[in-house]
Amino acid sequence: KMAVEFVDDQEMREAQRDYLDFLDDDQDQGIYQSKVRQMISENKSRLIVNLNDLRRRNEQRAAKLLNNAFEELLAFQRALKDLVASIDATYAKQHEEFFIGLEGSFGSKHVSPRTLTSRLLGSMVCLEGIVTKCSLVRPKVVRSVHYCPATKKTMERKYTDMTSLDAFPSSAIYPTKDEENNPLETEFGLSIYKDHQTITVQEMPEKAPAGQLPRSVDIILDNDLVDVVKPGDRTQVIGTYRCLPGKKGGFTSGTFRTIMIACHVKQMSKEVSHYFSADDVAKIKSFCRTRSKNSFDQLARSLAPSIHGHEYIKKAILCMLLGGVEKVLENGSRIRGDINVLLIGDPSVAKSQLLRYVLHTAPRAIPTTGRGSSGVGLTAAVTTDQETGTAFHTLRQHKKPEAIISNLRKTLGQVKVSE
Residue 210 has pLDDT above 60, yes or no: yes
Please state, in angstroms and rounded to a whole number, the distance separating the CA atoms of residues 33 and 364.
Answer: 43
SS (HEC) of 160-172: CCCCCCCCCCCCC
399-418 mean pLDDT: 51
**Interstrand relation of 334-335 and 234-248 (parallel, antiparallel or unpaired):** unpaired
Contacts of 385 (CB under 8 A, 6+ apart): 271, 323, 363, 364, 391
**337 and 366 Cβ atoms separated by less than 8 Å:** no
Least confident of 1-15, 59-73, 353-367: 1-15
What is the DSSP annotation of 220-282? Answer: EEEGGGTTS--TT-EEEEEEEEEEEEEEETTEEEEEEEEEEEEEEEEE--PPPPPPPPHHHHH
Percent of the chain with pLDDT over 90: 0
Select the more confidently predicted residue: 411 or 93: 93
Residues 265-304 have pLDDT tens digits of 888 755 445 567 788 888 888 877 777 777 777 778 788 8
Mind listing the domains of the chain with CATH numbers?
1-105 (3.30.1640.10), 108-270 (2.40.50.140), 278-412 (3.40.50.300)
pLDDT at 116: 81
Residue 230 has pLDDT above 70, yes or no: yes
Contacts of 394 (CB under 8 A, 6+ apart): 355, 358, 359, 365, 366, 367, 368
The pTM of the whole model exceeds 0.85: no
Residue 408's pLDDT band, with cuts at 50, 70 and 90, is low
What is the rounded average pLDDT for all residues in the chain? 74
249-262 mean pLDDT: 72
pLDDT at 272: 46
**Interstrand relation of 138-148 and 192-202 (parallel, antiparallel or unpaired):** antiparallel
What is the DSSP annotation of 74-135? Answer: HHHHHHHHHHHHHH-HHHHHH-S--EEEEES--GGGEE-TTT--GGGTTSEEEEEEEEEEEP
pLDDT at 376: 43
Is residue 79 left, alpha or beta, with left meaning phi > 0 and alpha meaning psi from -120 to 50?
alpha
Neighbours of 241 (CB within 10 A): 24
pLDDT at 364: 63
pLDDT at 370: 54
